[in-house]
Each structure stands twice: as structure tokens, then as C-alpha cells.
Chain A
Amino acid sequence: MALAWGTCDGHTLMHWTEYFGPLMQGAWVTIELTVYSTILGAILSFAAGIGKTSHNPVLKGISVVYIEVFRGTSLLVQLFWLYFALPLIGDAVGIDLRLPPVVAGVLALSLNIGAYGAEVVRGAIQAVSKDQYEAAKACNFTPRQTLFSVVLPQAIPEMMPPFGNLAIQNLKDTALVSLISLGDLAFRAEQLRNFTQDSTTIYTMVLFMYFGMALVLTAIMKLLERNVGRWRAVRR
């Protein structure tokens, strides 16, 4: 980090506009983490959410265990476990399981958000009325065709508002990855604060930056919501 600073009272001094460079760098990492983990999390949500409604006991079992484990433990512990504990287990069995911080971060975030998202997916699938399943049966659809042609198209619009919540939750959760030395927004803010002790300015800026990103995310989700529910929008 090439920064220009002067010294005063033993503290490193920067003009507040100079905070933008490092903070933007951090914000970019935060955005990347959010995008990757939200996409991977959405995939996990559908896999586990559909798995939990499956009649296949193995699929159902795997989904339930995954959901309960990752909902029932803290994200911070999951993150530390993947980053610090997993390599040691790898050592013990002779496999290299050291994960780069980005991979560990994205993985922990997606696994966590995926467990919550799975419950959203399951709930929306089960909210589709019994009448629709019966109509699908009368049309002789296979269970798979019923899921993809009849159930999911009706369930996905219902998932969008809670998914929006989860995406924003996920954005904010990315701050935890600074604890495994990933240079995200929270990490850069902490670095700057160590240099300058200027907590008020830095944290206020960071607050607004997270808020701005959340606003953009909300707008994207609104757009998606409108797109997937076009047949419902007509009704209103």
C-alpha cells in the first residue's frame, strides 16, 4: 500500500480523502466475496432445499444434516474451522487441505447462507398448493417434470424477498473474513485505523460504503423479483 502520510503526536496522519484508495480496494474485495458466495450459496440453497423435500432418504438426510449443522454453528467458527482446523486434519491424513483465504472465506459464507436459503427454498416449494401437484399428476408429469415445470416456477417468485434479505445479510457477514487476513472493506478500515487512530471518520465512511452496497443489492433483488414473477405482476 503506497500511502502518503505525516506524523503528529506519534500517530500517522492522513487526510480523510486519502482513505478512499485503500477503502475502495477493500470494498472491491467485499463485493467479490458477496457475489461469489451469494451465487454459490443460491446453488447450495436449491440443492439442499429441494433435497429436503425429496422422498429419497439419502438425499433428504444429507440435506437435513447440512442445513442443521451450518445453521446451528456460528459463521465465525465455520470460517476458523475451514481456515485453521481443516489444514491440520489434512496434515494428519497426509492431504494438503490448506485453503487460500479467499476460498475459505467464500466457502464459509456460501455454506452458511446456503443453509438458511435452503429453508427458504423448501418453504416456498411446500407452499405451492396441493391442487397444483394433483393437476401435474393428472397431466402425467414425472416428479422431476412437476418440480421444474410446475412447482419451481411458482415457488421462485415467493423466494425472492427472503433471498433479498439473505443476500444483504451475506454482504454484511463478509466483514468476518477480515479475521483470516482477507483484505476486505472491514480489514482495510482496521488497517487505516491502526495507522491513524481516526476511528470516527473511517468507521463512518465504512458505514456508508456498506450501506451503499446494500442499496445496490436491494435494487438488484427488486429487479430480479420483478423479472421472475412477471405472470404474477399482471395480476396486480
Chain B
Amino acid sequence: MTDPIIKFDKVVKRFDTLTVIDELDFEVGQGEKVTIIGPSGSGKSTVLRILMTLEPIQEGVVYVDGDMLWHEKANGGVKPAGEAHLRRMREKMGMVFQQFNLFPHMTVRRNLTEAPVKVLGMSKAEARERAEELLDMVGLADQADKFPHQLSGGQQQRVGIARALAMRPKIMLFDEPTSALDPELVGEVLSVIRRLAEEHDLTMLLVTHEMQFARQVSDRVCFFDRGKIKEQGTPEEIFGNPKEERTRAFLKAVLEGE
């Protein structure tokens, strides 16, 4: 593996006295598709939220694309990252939220063009053209003028994916993208993500409860428990022959439910 594009080095994240991420070491390679599974409260979403700079860390260092994420170099030493540094780092990542988090006061098209125009300085025409392409890719070319609340959950989440892609990230973070969806709408979202995984060399980090899907799209599956990676390996290893007792128990409980 070449230099990892994401690297957690002994990272600790606490909420008051509760340790959610416990001296985590974790690496993701360029273009790798990694799925994070685990029980609720195991810190899996927190990993994504730390990367998107939504949650600061208390100890350790996170590297993204060769640079420190939460720190920056300052005359020989290292200091906590300022807003300018954080904004430079955020450029590399896009995030898809469990609750979609679309901007409700903007049309679908504006959801996709607002940030590219304002943040990336793209021309309006270019941003619109790019929005059309992305909407076409997620199968919503005819919905551009609607508002988010006029769409189904599955459609909203596909807009969410397109919105994140509109910023041309190197890394896509998916935080339980189908957990808020009605069962019959899960498929359309997963197939968009699957196509994205197959056709692009994006680095993808997914937190999901869809085990079947995790098995199909991931290069590697990480099982999180109590803020640490308890076990990781290829989907075949994790789902076919899990070594840890904890992993076996979790998979048994989840798969029985399916």
C-alpha cells in the first residue's frame, strides 16, 4: 500500500468523561473502500465526524492526504489547526448524512450549485452543468427544480450524495446513509453508492448496518467496539470467518434480524 490517505495515530475523543474513541490507530489507502460496522455507541460515526471536522479530538494526530487535520505546523512546533487550515482540509472530503441534511430553502439544483459557486468560485453556468451531470448520475435529472421536502427520503439522500460530489472531494464519508430510510427506499440509495464505488477511484469510508451491502462494496471491513477496531479484514474474513468472539456475537445478532 502506498501512503495512506487517512491515518489515525493514537486518537482519543472524549465527551466529558465518556471516551468514544480510545487510542485509535486506523489507516485507509488511496481509493480504498472501507466499511465500518459495530454496535451503536462504538464510535463508528464519530470517526467520520472527526474527519469532517465536526468533532475535535483530544489526543493523537489525524492525517488526511499527508497533512495533519486537527493540527498545523507553526515555527518548528505544532499548534491546533485554525479555521483557514480546517477549510483547506475540508476541501478534500465530502459527507453524506444519516438525516440527509439538505438545505430545505433551496431547490435541488441550488443545493448542488451553492457551495461550488460560493466556495470553489465556480461560474454559475459551470456549476449548473455539473449539477445536471450529477443529478443524471443519481437518476434525478428531472427533479432539479423541486424542493427537498417534495422528494422521497431515497431521492433526498441521492441528492445528498450528489451535493457532496459536487465539491469534487477525494474522500467520501457516508454516515449511515440508509438508516433513516423506509426499507423499500434503501435499495436505490445503495445502488448509487455501489456504482460510485465501482466506477470511481474515490476513497470511500462507510458506516452502515447493511451487512450484505458492506460485503459487496468494501475492500476492507472494520469492526468497531468501544472506540477501537476490534477486528478488521476482507469482507470474506470478517463475515465468513470472524476470529473475535465479540465480532461473532455482533454479526449473529445483526444477521438474525435481517
Contacts and interface: CB of A to CB of B under 8 A. Distances in A.
A139 B115 contact: yes
Contacts of B54: 134, 137-138
B150 interface: yes
Nearest to B163: A139
A143 B97 CA distance: 20
A131 B97 contact: yes
Contact of B87 (A140, A153, A234, A235): A140
A154 interface: yes
Contacts of B95: 138
A147 to B, nearest CB: 12
Task: Classify the secondary structure of A's interface with B.
Answer: helix
B105 interface: yes
A231 B147 contact: yes
B97 to A, nearest CB: 7
A197 interface: no
Interface string A59-85: 000000000000000000000000000
A137 B119 contact: no
Interface in B27-86: 52-54, 83
B115 A153 contact: no
B132 interface: no
A201 interface: no
A135 interface: yes
B252 interface: no
Nearest to A231: B105
Interface string B93-124: 11101010111111000000011001100000
Given A154-B104, A231-B105, A235-B149, A138 B118 contact: no
A137 B52 contact: yes
Interface of A: 131-132, 134-135, 137-143, 145, 149-150, 153-154, 231-232, 234-235
* Top 10 A-B residue pairs of the complex, sorted by shortest distance between their CB atoms: A135-B101, A139-B115, A138-B95, A140-B90, A131-B101, A231-B105, A153-B105, A140-B119, A235-B149, A145-B118
Given A142-B119, A145-B119, A149-B103, 12 more contacts: A134-B52, A134-B54, A135-B102, A138-B94, A138-B101, A138-B164, A139-B115, A140-B87, A140-B91, A145-B118, A149-B118, A154-B104
